[in-house]
Structure 1
Amino acid sequence: MKYNEISHFSHPQHTLTFDYTETPFKCDGCKEVGIGSHYRCSFCDFDLHTHCAIPSLSIHHPFYTKCSFQFFSRPPGDTPRYCNACEKDVTGFVYHCKSCGFDLHPCCAKLPMVLDDGETNLYLYRKVRAPCHKCGRKGRSWSYRSSCKKYNLHVACVREMLVENWHELYFGYGKGIKKLENRIPSLRNTLQTPHKRRKGKVKKCCEMAGLALQFVISAVLGDPTSLIAGVIGTLMS
């Protein structure tokens, strides 16, 4: 459920308005990159993922059936914490299980278990034995794997692809699009390498892999919608 305007404890000065952007932003709640639907204070340049703006006080996750994750506005304790989904540092809003110590970024906690890319379903796994098409490594973070088992992408790798230089993407619409355009095709070319088949089949395989990538990126950035996938898709053409 979305509201056009909300009040939020993290930004009591002004109300936040539901907004949409095709350029990356940094969420002032979880401190992670985002794109698409979010809540924003235009006076203060303050942004929140929808998952961070309207969080659940507690959640359960299918990967951790014995855990109960509570929402925290800051990482609990004094030791550095990392997200068990993407293995990245936790520096802001987080879902934390007191009994086991697991942590999840809000967007990672709300990652869809299934993504439908129009060609094949992508399923979220805690661990996949097959190597990731981006880094070539097995295991590591949560992964999205296609039902045909041909495409496997670590959540961490997809996040790294955009987060490493998120500030370069963020400042300036023109520069942002250029940077994003340069990074996504590099992954598309990586996906093409293992498939030594006829040219037509290779092209079709890469098209499907690219479409899968679009949907995974959308989900990791907090807005798993076909609209965002379409925006990202235009950068790959």
Structure 2
Amino acid sequence: MEILRNHPCHTQHELEPQNYTQPYTCHGCKQKGFGPRYRCEKCDFDFHQACTYTGTDPVYHDYFSGSKFMFLRDPPEPCHPTCKIRCDACRNYVNGFVFHCEDNDLDLHPCCWNLKRSYQMEDVKFNLNKKMKGKCMWCNRKSLKDGGSDNGWSYVSECKKYHVHVTCVTEMALETWYNNNNGGGGGSSSSGGRGQESLALEKKVKELQAVGGYGDDGFGKNKFWRILKFIIKTIVSIVIGDPTMILASFFINLLP
């Protein structure tokens, strides 16, 4: 990451690479970020690395064959005034920078644009899918609580038995960090916050153990946890713009 000069969205000062261990709101996509970012201290201005993109030519995503995307600094106009544009990957609202395909009505946050299409963990391969076809390993639901009419992207094992929403793990990771740092201020954690979050995670762990689906066809308990932790660390590090996996590692260490 090198110093950015004369960025079209912030020409008055240089944007310097920083690596604070607090979440921030990106001034580009308006989504949460963590760890490495481009920042102007004088203006309290932050960018995801992915949001520094300035291209004006059409770009193509190998997940959408034949779809042509344009990088927009403002969200496209919705089809109806009461509608809001959602990212087709994480299903969160699009409030700023976005890759938009007008022909197929597709929208992707810049960080979601960077999600890998497949991961190999031990002998299990997970592929990125548009549709959720089973219950998420993490939230134990097929539908997102607030995903509109779509479930968002998910990683699905090739055996079709194991699924995880892209957005579930990032939201839980950020919530965990905030609860352990008094709202994200970066100070020391309160014992009360740790206690509450530990109880929440303990409850979630018990739920996963009850419905995780391991124990048959060689997919044992330890392997289930290793794969789930790998997915969490990988997705969190990409979606919130933390290539060093600081936040993801912090979150994983709270799990037994």
Runs of at least 4 residues off by over 6 Å: 164-168
Using the TM superposition, give the Cα deviation of residue 16 of structure 1 relative to its aligned residue in structure 2, in angstroms: 0.5
Q: Residue 90 of structure 1: SS of its match in structure 2?
A: coil
Matched with 2:52 is 53
Rounded to whole Å, the distance in 2 between the matches of 1:210 and 1:133 is 11
**One-letter amino acid of the counterpart of residue 14, structure 1:** H
TM-superposed CA distance for 1:15, in Å, is 0.8
Deviation at 1:163, TM superposition (A): 5.8
Task: Specify which of 155, 170, 178 is matched with residue 184 of structure 2.
Answer: 170
TM-score (normalised: structure 2) = 0.74
Structure 2 SS opposite 1:160? helix
Matches within 5 A, 1:1-237: 2-57=1-56, 58-77=58-77, 79=81, 80-115=84-119, 121-138=125-142, 140-146=151-157, 151-162=162-173, 169-175=183-189, 187-195=204-212, 197=215, 201-225=220-244, 229-236=248-255
- For residue 107 of structure 1, report the CA deviation from its aligned partner: 0.9
Q: Distance in 1 between matches of 2:177 and 2:96?
A: 17
> What displacement does 1:72 show?
0.8
Equivalent residues of 1:158, 1:220 under 8 A apart = no
Give per-residue Cα distances to partners, 1:16-70, cap 9 Å, x unaligned. Answer: 0112233221111101111232211122221111000135433212232232110
| Partners of 1:56 and 1:73 in 2: CA distance | 11
Deviation at 1:6, TM superposition (A): 3.5
Change (3 A) 1:134 1:111: same
Match of 2:147 in 1: none
Output the aligned Cα RMSD.
Answer: 3.4
Aligned length: 234
Contact 2:152 2:166 in 1 (8 A): yes
TM-aligned CA distance change 1:225 to 1:163, over 3 Å: closer
Q: Aligned-pair distance for 1:81? A: 1.2
Q: 1 CA distance for matches of 2:153 and 2:97? A: 20
**In 1, Cα distance between the equivalents of 2:5 and 2:205?**
39
The CA distance in 1 between the partners of 2:139 and 2:18, in whole Å, is 34
8 Å CA contact retained: 1:30, 1:91: yes
1:144 positional shift:
1.8
* TM-score of the two chains, using structure 1 as the length reference: 0.79
Deviation string, structure 1 residues 65-97 (Cα, Å, up to 9, x no partner) = 232110111112264311111111111111111
Q: Structure 1 CA distance, aligned partners of 2:203 and 2:116? A: 25
Distance change in 2, residues 1:89/1:227 (3 Å):
closer
Q: Is the 8 A contact 2:30 2:95 kept in 1?
A: yes
* Structure with greater Cα Rg: 2
| Maintained 8 Å contact 2:134/2:161 | no
Give, in whole Å, the separation in 1 of the partners of 2:208 and 2:141.
14
> After superposition, what is the alpha-carbon deviation per residue over 1:92-127, rounded to whole angstroms, capped at 9, x for unaligned?
111111222221111111212134567855432212
Query: CA-to-partner distance for each residue in 1:201-224, whole Å, 9 max, x for gaps?
Result: 434432432232122211221234
> Which blocks of at least 5 consecutive residues in structure 1 are unaligned?
none
Name the one with the larger helix percent: 1
Structure 1 Cα separation of the partners of residues 246 and 175 of structure 2 = 24
- CA separation in 2, counterparts of 1:213 and 1:172? 22
For the Cα contact (< 8 Å) 1:169–1:175, is it kept in 2?
no
Q: 1:82 to 1:190 in 2, by over 3 A?
A: same
- Using the aligned pairs only, state the percent identity: 33
